[in-house]
Amino acid sequence: MTIDLEALYIDLHRHPELSFQETRTAGVITRELEALGLEFVEGLGKTGVATVIRNGDGPVVWLRADMDALPVPEQTGLDYASTARGTDPAGLDVPVMHACGHDMHVTAMLGALERLAATRAEWSGTIVAVFQPAEEYGAGAQAMIADGVLDRFPRPDVVLGQHLTPLPAGVIGVRPGTQMAASDGLTVTLLGRGGHGSRPHSTIDPVVMAAATVMRLQTVVSREIDPREMGVVTVGSIHAGLKNNIIPAEAKLELSLRYPDEEARTNILGRVERIIRAEAQASGAEEAPIITVDHSLPPTINDRAATARLTAAFDAAFGDGTVVDPGMFTGSEDVSWFAREAGVPLVYWFWGGVDPQMYADAVSAGTVEKDIPTNHSPFFAPVLHPTIERGVDALVVATREFLEEVSA
């Protein structure tokens, strides 16, 4: 059997599913695993799948690919663009798109598993491949762990994973140490006193309170954090009111906070909470705001020795200059929970999906930020080739590096 990876990717891209709703995607995965003759368990952490290739004595290497999509309306213009819709946790009907490349992650993983299964005579050890739900909620890894994935499969000696990113196709980006930031997602409920729009003096307006809070929060990074340090405070969502002549009783903000380490987290989170409470008090709120931490993710930290070993393997396989240090990404991931819970090294890298000539032209013009769509953009669309091939090759090279080689 040879998986048609291009057709597989296009099918997954056309049929994205939101976090913890990846039932069709899981079905596609298990269909391919069955065809490969691999044992697997489905329904882990609600919709996750894990499979194992046992091949004699040797290290246990875990591979991870996430598979959920985002509530984004696709605007790529591709003939296989998503027109799917879904229901978000608030019960709203939303457009759904693979705007972060998780469809490519699944495709590359299945392609790698096919090749690794076909070359059993060349290596010894055990491979566990985890297809994880709900990375975008920062909850899928812990859901699978809570469902016993570390106990139901051989425990890892190393955890490996990769993510598509707007680098030129063929390029791999990896660095030792902190590869991705820690993050918290907050929901803030500002409590006012509602009333008629014609009588604002009889109300405590949470919309004005929210506006003041959003603007003041912009000063945390720009005025309270050392410019040499990294920090992000983003208000990604504001919800208040239903009609123009009604002052609502409350407003909700959703925040995304990013930092490189626990010290920065304590610093930024404390300042954010101070501002939220102070603006409520300045607005005359009779009740303190409610601040809920929806998720908290640790930094993604690559083991230095394992990363050096893998970087050398990538250089040998793909040639000098293929591997670059992309710097620390301010995005966050939950992949490290598998390595943290198992107490083993993690190596997590990026691979490019942008047409190399398009990327080079944007660099020459100084328009990379404008012309190269990033993850979560409605225009995010990796070129199929050589993105698929490099994603498969990178996983195979990485896995074989940590398994035992068998002499011919």
pLDDT category at 1 given cuts 50, 70, 90 is low
- Are both 259 and 158 inside the same structural domain? no
- Are both 135 and 107 inside the same structural domain? yes
Select from 296, 317, 332 the last residue of a domain.
296
Return d(Cα 101, Cα 80) in angstroms, integer.
14
pLDDT more than 90, % of the chain: 97
- Are both 252 and 399 inside the same structural domain? no
Yes or no: say if 206 and 348 are a contact pair by the CB < 8 Å rule: no
Select from 270, 296, 322 the last residue of a domain.
296
User: Residue 33 corresponds to which tokens in the numbers above?
Assistant: 């695993």
> How much is the pLDDT for 181?
95
Mean pLDDT of 68-85: 98
Yes or no: say if 22 and 46 are a contact pair by the CB < 8 Å rule: no
- Which DSSP symbol is given to 213? H
Domain of 243: which CATH number? Answer: 3.30.70.360
- Are both 166 and 310 inside the same structural domain? yes
Q: Is 224 annotated as a binding residue?
A: no
- Are both 288 and 393 inside the same structural domain? no
Yes or no: say if 30 and 22 are a contact pair by the CB < 8 Å rule: no
- Are both 191 and 336 inside the same structural domain? no
Cα→Cα distances 248→116, 237, 239, 251, Å: 58, 17, 10, 7
Q: Is 102 annotated as a binding residue?
A: yes
Select from 296, 323, 345 the last residue of a domain.
296
- Are both 173 and 264 inside the same structural domain? no
- Are both 305 and 269 inside the same structural domain? no
Query: Long-range CB contacts (< 8 A, 24+ apart) of 235-241?
Result: 238/210, 238/214, 240/206, 240/207, 240/210, 241/207
Return d(Cα 209, Cα 201) in angstroms, integer.
14
- Are both 174 and 198 inside the same structural domain? no
Structural domain of residue 197, as residue ranges? 185-296
Q: Is 163 annotated as a binding residue?
A: yes
- Are both 330 and 309 inside the same structural domain? yes
Residue 331 has pLDDT above 70, yes or no: yes
Residue 407 has pLDDT above 80, yes or no: no
Half-sphere exposure of 171 (CA within 13 A, CB side): 19
Q: Is 239 annotated as a binding residue?
A: no
pLDDT tens per residue across span 127-172: 999 999 999 999 999 999 999 999 999 999 999 999 999 999 999 9
- Are both 253 and 313 inside the same structural domain? no
- Are both 218 and 278 inside the same structural domain? yes
Residue 408 has pLDDT above 70, yes or no: no
Return d(Cα 371, Cα 198) in angstroms, integer.
46
Number of domains in the chain: 2
pLDDT category at 320 given cuts 50, 70, 90 is confident
User: Residue 134 corresponds to which tokens in the numbers above?
Assistant: 């709900």
Helix (H, G, I), strand (E, B) or coil at 326: coil
Domain of 49: which CATH number? Answer: 3.40.630.10
Residue 23 has pLDDT above 90, yes or no: yes
Mean pLDDT across the chain, nearest whole number?
96
Q: Which helix (H) or strand (E) is 142 found in, with range?
A: helix 140-146
Return d(Cα 385, Cα 185) in angstroms, integer.
35
pLDDT tens per residue across span 174-226: 999 999 999 999 999 999 999 999 999 999 999 999 999 999 999 999 999 99
